[in-house]
Structure 1
Amino acid sequence: MIPKLLSLSLIAFTAVLFSSCSSGPNVLSKSDIRSGASSSSKVFSFGKSDSFPVSAPSAGVVSAAAAKPKDRHKMPVYAFSERSRLVRTTAYTCSEDDHIVYGSKNATGTQLRYTDRVRSAAADWSFYPVGTVFRITGLPYLYVIDDYGSALTGTGTIDIYKPSKDVMNQWGRRNVEVTIVQWGSFTRSAEILAQRTKYSHCSQMLANIVRQRPNLSAVAKR
């Protein structure tokens, strides 16, 4: 009887873990502190739905996007001087098969964030270097690039972190207007990726960073 109860307890614990896999400590970066967030920012209780009142991209951003070179998803590729962008976004969660091994950690080794002020996102670090902070028009949160994914490599797509599969599916895929608040660090991106070149997507991101920033070639060889 006792082994059976233990087995049922383990199943219940696993279900809770994967339905809300980011319910760890509220981790804030220095940029979050500068933006006015505090360590007392509440961590959401994660249900099966969330509210995403995303505004439609402005006519100016849509018009400007038409003349840009395109990535493989036929989305515009921007110069780093351009902070207002039309961006293809997708969503992911830590209980997906390709992320489950990493749990609630991002690619920098810290906790994925999903609070009322700051939320994690993943991208190709040669498009959006680690630490890049941005906003999505219509939403009140700051998003921080602290993760990457092999499917994002070579594109300007941003993958928005969600705390559960239900909320992830609710977001789906959306083209939104993004404003870059603060650029991240290509140097830090190169330092992290240089330790992971056995993975083809990391090697590809690193090579693209060095192509754009030849001064980081020495960092890439460490």
Structure 2
Amino acid sequence: MRPLLTRVLPLAMCLFIVGCSTRPLPKYQRPIARTQLQRVRTTAYTDTESDHVQYSNHNALGGTLQCGAIHSAAADWSRWPAGTIFRIRETGELYRVDDYGWALSGTNTIDLYKPSRSAMNAWGVRGVTIENLQWGDPRQSLSVLRPRSHFRHVQRMIQELEDRMEELVQPVPAMGSSPGPVLIAATSTPALSAAPTPIPVSRPIVMASAPAPQNAPRAIPVTNSSRANQIARDPFYATGASR
């Protein structure tokens, strides 16, 4: 039995690598304007679904996925660099970009981490307004991605980070007047070696999640617990979301 396993496991790994290298990347979208307020498309994921189980509850920075005062989020790091903190205006929830995925590369979609499949399915697909409170560091994002450049979706993020670096390191003007930058307490997720540039905001951060108002965006229900089926029904996504 053991000799059989020693032959099967390497074969399975080879098939996985070949599958990742031949799978088409998501359709490319031009980056949306880098402003403090953005209207974005969001999806949801959890660590127990089939396309994330190999990573357990770990994020792309080497820490654990968070679901507390600040939640984890996955995105293309050339649009929202690792460490970016934003608030969803419709719900009041705070998110920190500490993850990425195959299906997000080259897109303007943000994937929100949820603690369970039921919470993931309840969120579905929603258009929301986010308020970027603190931008991550694109240089540090690039340093994390470069050792993983054998993946095609990482190559795409690296290329765009390099092309947009001059733009991404520039501060983004805040809306209206503000007495000073917002300081956000650190979470258990390891911080990047260089602190991201804070963006002043015109109102205090509400750390507790607030109930959604009556005019909150309508969620598109996901009737199957498999996120792969959710993505397959969505013409924007390619199948799968591996790192």
How high is the TM-score relative to the length of structure 1? 0.61
C-alpha root-mean-square deviation of aligned residues, in Å?
2.2
- Which aligned pairs between 1:1-222 and structure 2 lie closer than 5 A? 77-80=31-34, 82-115=35-68, 117-213=69-165
User: SS at the partner of 1:195?
Assistant: helix
Q: CA 1:83/1:72 → structure 2, altered by over 3 Å: closer, same or farther?
A: farther
Q: CA 1:209/1:111 → structure 2, altered by over 3 Å: closer, same or farther?
A: same
What residue ranges of structure 1 are gaps of 5+ in the alignment? 1-70, 217-222
Distance 2:84 2:126 in 1: 20
Runs of 4+ in 1 over 6 A off after TM superposition: none
What residue ranges of structure 2 are gaps of 5+ in the alignment? 1-25, 169-243
Q: Give 1:97 shift.
A: 1.5
Q: Which has the higher contact order (CA 8 A, sep 6+)?
A: 2
Give the count of matched residue pairs: 143
Q: Percent same amino acid at aligned positions?
A: 43
Distance 1:100 1:154 in 2: 23
Distance 1:101 1:157 in 2: 22
Amino acid at match of 1:107: A
2:234 aligned residue? none
User: SS at the partner of 1:194?
Assistant: helix
Q: Give 1:73 shift.
A: 8.8
User: For 1:144-183, what per-residue CA distance to the aligned partner results, in whole angstroms no more than 9, with x for missing partners?
Assistant: 0000000001111000000111110000000001110010
Distance 1:173 1:198 in 2: 30
